[in-house]
Structures are given as C-alpha cells and as structure tokens.
Structure 1
Amino acid sequence: MSPQHAAGVAANGGLRADAARNRDRIVAAAREVFAAEGQKAPLDEIARSAGVGNATLYRHFPTRRDLVVAVVRDVSERAADRAEDALAAGVDPFEALRGLFLAGVEERVGVMCTMLGTADGDPGRRAAGDRLTQVVERLASRARATGALRADVTAGDILLAIGRLTRPLPDGSECRLDGDLVRRQLLIFLDGLRAPAATQLPGTGPSVADLRRVPAGRS
C-alpha cells in the first residue's frame, strides 16, 4: 500500500478494527453493486451484500454521495497501487501498462468514470485521481523511452481508453462486457499502442488537462 493510500486509510481511521473492516466491506460491495446497477442502486442492497445492517452503512456513509466518493477514491487508489507496484518491481513498462488496463477491469475503473460528477469537488477524490494520473504518465514515459509505446500516444489517450473500455454497456444490452470479453477488447486495443505505428493518428492526443476540461459524465 502506498503512503498516500495508507494516509487515506488512516484518515478513515481512528476506527476500531471491526469498524474498519465493515467500512471496507461496504465500499467493496458498493463497487460491485454500482457496477451492476448504477450509482442509484438501493443502499439497503449494498448493506445486504456487505453483510451489515442499514444502520452500520449509514453510520459510515450518512449520504449516498459520501459512499460514491469513497468508491471513486478507493478505485483510483487501488489501480494506482497496482501500477506503482509494477514500476517498483522493474516490470517491463509496456507490460506494466498492460497490467494497468487489466487492473482497470478488476477495479471497475469504468464504473468510477460514470460517478465522477457526483464525487466532484471532494479534495480526497481529486488527490486520488491526481495520483493515478501521475502513475499513468510515468508508465507512458517509460514505455515510450523503451520504444515499445508509439510516440503519438499520450497519457490522456491511455486514461480515456481505460475509462471507456472498462465501462459497462447500457442497460438492456444482450452482450455483457465482462470476463474474457473485456480482456479480449483490451488486448486488441493494447496491440494498437505498440510501436512501430501501423497508421498515423489524426489530430493531437488529449492531455490530462484536456480531459479535466470535459464535464464529468461526458467523456
């Protein structure tokens, strides 16, 4: 766990061990329920999935927004932790980038993207997002330096792709975007990131600053 993530845990802190476990279970359950049903899913369903009572959920998260913010922060931190672990272990930068995309599936990054508007304005959410952005920029820079990542792909391209490719399909779709199907789509996309480039990309890739100017929910 990174110092930033540990600090975030401590900030929730001062909690007894059993209370901290309950909070973690609620956030994990909310991530899965929001992924399946959207952020307006019934909170009592999240409590049942977490194995706690409604009173326990509301004690930790008095409002729905509080829970959404916690999920967004948790997803960002967990994805950044995994990418930083890969960098620290000296994993090939492109393989670390590949791992980040697959982590995006497991950590439900696409779900987080649909909730950014609700979580907007929370300093902790912004700090967690900034940390994930910095890790992606470092990964992209190292992968370019090895000649594995095509030079015209930006960190903004990568962040946008992770959000789009791991996002659930609209309600009612007969094709569930999960499991092997998601990984298949991601691996097809990753092949397109490799240098040398087979085609010239139109325009200029988005910067992280460009993405921040896009209203939440419109990416």
Structure 2
Amino acid sequence: MATAERRAQPARVDATRNRERIIAAAREAFVEHGPSVPLDAIAHRAGVGNATLYRHFADRQELILVVASYSMARITEQAQAALDEEADAFEALRRFVHRAADERVGALCSLLFEGFDKNDPQVVDARLRLEAAVTRLMDNARESGELRPDVGLGDLMVAITQLTRPVAGTACAQVERFMHRHLQLFLDGLRAPARSELSGTAVTFEDLETTT
C-alpha cells in the first residue's frame, strides 16, 4: 500500500469518529437544552474544536437534520430487533419502549424546530422506516389481545419522548433514576383490557407533524 494511502486511512477513521462524537453530543445536548443550544457547547461536549464541527456540518440546521435522521435510524433498529428476537408480542413492544428510551428518543423533539425541513428525503425515509417498524410492533400486540385497541403510534411516541426528557429544574442525569420505572407504569396502562376510557382519538405520526 502506498504511503499516501496508509496516511489517508487513519485520517478517515479519525474523521468518522469525530463525526460520530459530534452527533452523539448533539443528540444529548438537544435533549437537555433544546435545538438552540450553542454549537460551541456541542463541540466541547464532543471533545472537538469548533472548526472540526463545521468541517462536518455546515450549520445548525444540517446538524439537526442528521441527528434527527440518525436517532430515528437507531430507534428503528431497536424496533426491528424486538420484532425479530421476541416471541411474545407485548414483550417485544415492552422491549422496544425501554430500548428507545436508552437511545434518548427525546432527541426527536428536534423535529419540532422551527424552520426544520421535515420533508427532506433523508428525514422522510427515516421516519417512514420507524413508523413501519413500530406499527408492526403495535399491530402484533393488538392482534394478540394484549394491547388496548384505543392507542395509536403517536400516543406511544409522545409518551416515550416525554418520559425520557429531563424534569424541569433537575439535572439531566437524574432522569435515568426513574425513567424506566415510569415507562413500565405507562406500559401497564397499555395492556388490554383497558381500565378506563381515553378522551379524544388515537394519535398518529401525522397528527404529531401537523401540531408543529
């Protein structure tokens, strides 16, 4: 292998690692502080300089777009794994909910950022894949008789998002202490037969988009 090629390979590896660190740091920062968090704070959290961040992402909107798409892809992987590996339909749904929480699904709130292009092909593709996988999880649980019939995909995603965001006035790390406990309480409320009647109608992914 030529010397130039050998030198290029570590450089590409470092660039990939830096990009991954920036995306992870941005996802955490968006969950904690919202999409307006200073970019230099994201760079500091990622352990890179501002110049490195801007080499990978031209501006805030590009970073938000990538983080949103990346987060949806990671969560979709968790949904698919639950579908493939769990024999019990409600257990698959339960597993997905807890794994999605670990993936900090609250980062998807970046989709609500004013001026964010939700129609970008990259975002649309990631959203459709996520919707299809989670819909299958819920349909399976509903057909097994374990999931109450009056909840929709939007209901599930709203609950996961809200229960994985920090409580106002607390440090972000505090949410880890009770997040899964509260998610389990929520999951118990999803089981059939329903013990109460819900107001309104089941929420869809489309409903979430039209409220932004």
Q: TM-score range by the shorter chain?
A: 0.7 to 0.9
Counterparts of 2:106 and 2:87 in 1: how far apart (Å)? 25
Counterparts of 1:50 and 1:119 in 2: how far apart (Å)? 25
RMSD between superposed Cα atoms in Å: 2.1
Q: Secondary structure at the match of 1:16?
A: helix
Say whether the 8 Å CA contact 1:69–1:125 is kept in structure 2: yes
Closer/same/farther in 2, CA of residues 44 and 95 from structure 1, 3 Å limit: same
Counterpart for residue 182 of structure 2: 185
Counterpart for residue 30 of structure 2: 34
Counterpart for residue 160 of structure 1: 158
TM-score by length of 2: 0.84
Closer/same/farther in 2, CA of residues 191 and 96 from structure 1, 3 Å limit: same
Alignment equivalent of 1:67, drawn from 60, 63, 66:
63
- Give the Å deviation of 1:174: 4.3
Counterparts of 1:35 and 1:91 in 2: how far apart (Å)? 33
Alignment gaps of 5+ in structure 1: 1-14
Counterparts of 1:56-205 in structure 2, within 5 Å, are: 56-117=52-113, 118-170=116-168, 173-174=169-170, 178-205=175-202
1:22-71 residue CA offsets vs partner (Å, 9 max, x unmatched): 11111011112222222222222222222222211101001011111111
- One-letter code of the match for 1:29? A
- Give the Å deviation of 1:19: 1.6
Counterparts of 1:43 and 1:181 in 2: how far apart (Å)? 29
Alignment gaps of 5+ in structure 2: 1-10
Counterparts of 2:208 and 2:32 in 1: how far apart (Å)? 26
* Higher Cα radius of gyration: 2
1:131-165 residue CA offsets vs partner (Å, 9 max, x unmatched): 11111110000001111111222222212222222
TM-score by length of 1: 0.82
Question: Would you say how many aligned residue pairs link Structure 1 and Structure 2?
Answer: 199
Counterparts of 1:79 and 1:91 in 2: how far apart (Å)? 20
